[in-house]
Chains A and B, each alone.
Chain A
């Protein structure tokens, strides 16, 4: 009897704990941040192709129009024009959030983003800021192919005047979107499609996370893994397995790509002396290039730190058979770590179920 009561109490306290520990999907966190932004400030306008449709941009904008009909607008298929229009709104007292279902569509609006939006504050001699968020969804797998699954973060991060962020989990996504909407500068907000269904603890309150801070998400001393966006997940998988092999990785999530928080990176590099940068996108002229260059510039000459990198090289194939060769997966990462540290690691193939490398999780059924 006593035992039963105890177990009942335990169950109740677990429930209370569960209530406090509020778990949301990444997509729900984005939606909540958008909802709370509009609620707090009626100058926030959400716009994009299909923002009020029944699917609501993978759930991230679902039903917001019902609650705020004057703050949510579907747009014509005219990317450059509606981006210019959003700039017009931003310099007239509004805080627009634009959404593109894939980053590739935003390429049609680069003129407005690079020439106008990024430089408006500068061109106006510091008189007119542009508080604007452009949400760009990057894809992967399930046959998305060459024009629906590129990671083009570095192109945007190249442009002075833009801030570029790429949260890797629901908690960061909410806090960083709330910051982005309230920032005076244009913020390019990258969301990976494969992160939308991932979950983490997300407080209900309206909270902000800085747009310029990297985060050490796992402490270790053998090697530093620097990554961002979805590639962080693969790094974590690899580091969990390496831990079983008594190799302790320090995993750093960049979170912001412009600016890059080098302070955190340098500190970790000095500790581990070995760094592997896992790029979410293309290696050449990419984020990994910038991280590597910036890191080496900041290290004193007499300190030896080995820096390596990995990422994608070719255009992204549609077929499942080649998908596994395209992106750096957890297995690739731990093989690289094994080489760098010259330590043999027994890879348990069962641990890394790579049966369907074009799927974010077994429940994912497509089509996009």
Chain B
């Protein structure tokens, strides 16, 4: 299936935007103003960009510790996001949560938490609520390969199958739980898609995180989920460009093979699609887009810097509703 240039350009713009936001966070992190752990999405942005492009505003997303790209792809407010990293009152969680607790109720990003696997059942609960309310929203649950090792992954798959829920489980498999490779953690015979299938959940594995391929396939999958009211799981092999937590590359630690790194560097979605885009638009136009994004980013950082910190009064306001 061929896609229109306009669609391609739009997807690429969103991909580049999130990439550049994350690069800016990485660049400024040493300033010690973003005083919370960050799990950057660098390298994995194509997955949420492609999937969220197929969602309506009413559709819902939950995520985990590496949530920046998920939040932004769903349409989460950039200024509130940066402010949250800065711990400011203007943050999406009033500075109480930080990078690992992103939320934007306006765009139905509810929410991200850092305990591995915890949002899987919460997302299923949201899907069950949708069923009880008889609406046609789909819930996207983003998680990593580590979360599939939690019992709640299997239990949530089964529950969504039992109750015919409209859920898309999205496993971003970057092969590593911090520094621990899959081969240390999972049997070679284990298949994430087969676990889903054993619970009656249809599943599809992507061996690469190609932006357009994911976009096209998930368009169809999400339509099917809504039409049939059945859950679906996709597993997408992807690559984390920087350290598990923090702003820097860490391949000097030699926990990943050179061949693995090279394979994925050649597979960088921003670089691949930049070349393709330059066949549609000229360099000046690309530069214009890059500048436009940079301006938006600068504004967001400026907004965060100028915002106030929450005062003591705020501290006691949110323990009980």
Contacts and interface: CB of A to CB of B under 8 A. Distances in A.
Q: Do A and B truly interact?
A: yes
Interface of A: 45, 70, 76, 78, 80-94, 111-112, 115-116, 120-130, 160-161, 163, 184-185
Most A C-beta atoms less than 10 A away, residue of B111, B115, B127: B111
A87 B123 CA distance: 9
B126 A125 contact: no
A125 B105 CA distance: 11
8 contacts: A76-B155, A78-B152, A78-B155, A81-B152, A81-B156, A88-B126, A94-B132, A122-B319
Contacts of A115: 113, 115, 118
Nearest to A79: B155
A49 to B, nearest CB: 13
B231 to A, nearest CB: 13
A357 to B, nearest CB: 39
A89 B111 contact: no
B287 interface: no
A124 B111 contact: yes
B128 A88 contact: yes
Contact of B320 (A70, A111, A121): A121
A111 B97 contact: no
A91 B159 contact: no
B122 A124 contact: no
B116 to A, nearest CB: 10
A122 B310 CA distance: 13
B321 A91 contact: no
Nearest to A126: B318
B121 A127 contact: no
Interface in B149-190: 151-152, 155-156, 158-159, 162
Contact of B317 (A91, A93, A111, A126): A126
B130 interface: yes
A120 B124 CA distance: 16
B28 to A, nearest CB: 23
Interface stretch (B18-26, B86-94, B232-240): B86-94
Contacts of B97: 123-125
Most B C-beta atoms less than 10 A away, residue of A85, A89, A163: A85
A129 B321 contact: yes
- Please name the 7 residue pairs, one residue from A and one from B, whose CB atoms are nearest each other, closest first: A88-B125, A84-B121, A125-B94, A92-B129, A129-B321, A85-B125, A81-B155
A226 to B, nearest CB: 24
Contacts of A116: 113, 115, 118, 122
Contacts of A126: 94, 317-318, 321
Interface of B: 91-97, 101, 103, 105, 110-111, 113, 115, 118-130, 132-133, 151-152, 155-156, 158-159, 162, 317-321
A111 B93 CA distance: 21
Given A80-B151, A122-B96, A126-B94, A111 B129 contact: no
Nearest to B98: A123
B79 to A, nearest CB: 14
A78 B156 CA distance: 9
Contacts, number: 135
B67 to A, nearest CB: 13
A127 B105 CA distance: 8
A234 to B, nearest CB: 32
A84 B319 contact: no
Given A82-B121, A85-B121, A128-B105, A161 B319 contact: yes
A178 B146 CA distance: 41
Contacts of B318: 121-122, 125-126
Given A84-B121, A85-B156, A127-B105, 10 more contacts: A76-B159, A81-B151, A81-B155, A84-B122, A89-B128, A116-B115, A121-B318, A125-B92, A126-B321, A185-B320
A122 B130 CA distance: 24
B121 A88 contact: yes
Nearest to A259: B320
Given A116-B118, A123-B111, A160-B319, A84 B103 contact: no
Nearest to A118: B319
Contact of B125 (A84, A129, A161, A184): A84
B159 A85 contact: yes
A70 B155 contact: no
A128 B319 contact: no
Contacts of B155: 76, 78, 80-82
A183 to B, nearest CB: 8
A84 B122 CA distance: 5
A115 B105 CA distance: 20
Contacts of B124: 81, 84-85, 88
Contacts of B110: 91, 128
Contacts of A89: 125-126, 128-129, 132
Contact of B122 (A45, A87, A93): A87
B101 A123 contact: yes
B312 to A, nearest CB: 15
Contacts of B151: 78, 80-81
Contacts of B321: 121, 126, 129-130, 184-185
Contacts of B101: 123-124
Contacts of A161: 319-320
B159 A92 contact: no
A163 B321 CA distance: 11
A91 B126 CA distance: 8
B114 to A, nearest CB: 9
A124 B121 contact: no
Contacts of A93: 129, 133
Contact of B120 (A84, A91, A123, A130): A84
A181 to B, nearest CB: 14
A112 B152 CA distance: 11
A160 B162 CA distance: 34
A122 B152 CA distance: 24
A161 to B, nearest CB: 6
A144 B111 CA distance: 40
A163 B119 CA distance: 23
